[in-house]
Amino acid sequence: MEASFLVDMTKCIGCRGCQIACKQWNGNKTDKTKMGPKFTNPVKLNAKTYTNIDFFESVNGDKLTYDFARNGCFHCKKPACVSACPVSALVKTKEGSVIYRAERCIGCRYCMLGCPFNIPKFEWGTVFPKIQKCTFCHDRLLENKIPACAKTCPSGTIHFADGIENNLKEARRRLSENPGKYFNHIYGEKEVGGTSVLLLSSVPLDQIGYQKVGDAVIPDLTWKYIGGIPAVIGMVLAAGIGSWVITRRNKNMDKEDNS
């Protein structure tokens, strides 16, 4: 099974069922929070919240409307977090999920810097901190069960499929059959080389918090620079050794002059 989500935000009712199911399945506790200017709660993803529903309020004439956005890991085809990790603590599995292996982690947090969607979170308040993120319910996938959030969603917002191509076909069908209902873009089809989570919305995706990340595969970009690091280190070491030799020679010359 290769997991893929098609998240159709036109169907979302803002119930947060996916958010609660995610916490329950992963055994994550809740923190005391305060309601902000929006109904989004918690406001951002954190080490105990792998997915949340973001509320976007708008007024059209005398009508108050809400648009919703589901935030969580996109499980990229070629994940930047996996590429950035120097010890393979993050892995892209054949089931489609990006999982974290805590026993390998050295706490460098490069995955947090590498992710274009700002997904991996660090346990800042613990003695032995780990990285936390959505695993696509990898344990459920191994038992041929769908992720808890998709299982719980009462409105059909999260459409689960075995294989990204199946969800791309479904997304294209919905766009062609309902041209006035959707903003004509499948988010995740090309972004960062493609993701296992695809999004449809009635409004441009950047209006409901989804970043414009471009289509380039991020690991391909980063490794162009990472590949040059050994040469840079070599030059720095050579310069350091040269400076040390010159300094030492000057000190010896000063001793000879004073003797």
User: DSSP per residue over 26-91, as a string?
Assistant: HT---------SSS-SSSS-BTTBS-EEEEEEEEETTEEEEEEEEES---BSS-HHHHH-TT--EE
The pLDDT assigned to 235 comes to 55
The pLDDT assigned to 58 comes to 85
Q: What is the mean pLDDT of residues 140-163?
A: 97
| Residues near 2 by beta carbon (within 8 Å), at least 6 away in sequence | 94, 95, 96, 162, 163, 164, 196
Q: Is the pLDDT of residue 183 over 80?
A: yes
The pLDDT assigned to 251 comes to 57
197 forms beta bridges with: 5
The pLDDT assigned to 230 comes to 47
The pLDDT assigned to 31 comes to 85
> How high is the mean pLDDT of the chain?
88
Give per-residue pLDDT as tens, 50-87. 999 999 998 878 888 889 999 999 999 999 999 999 99
Q: Is the pLDDT of residue 94 over 50?
A: yes
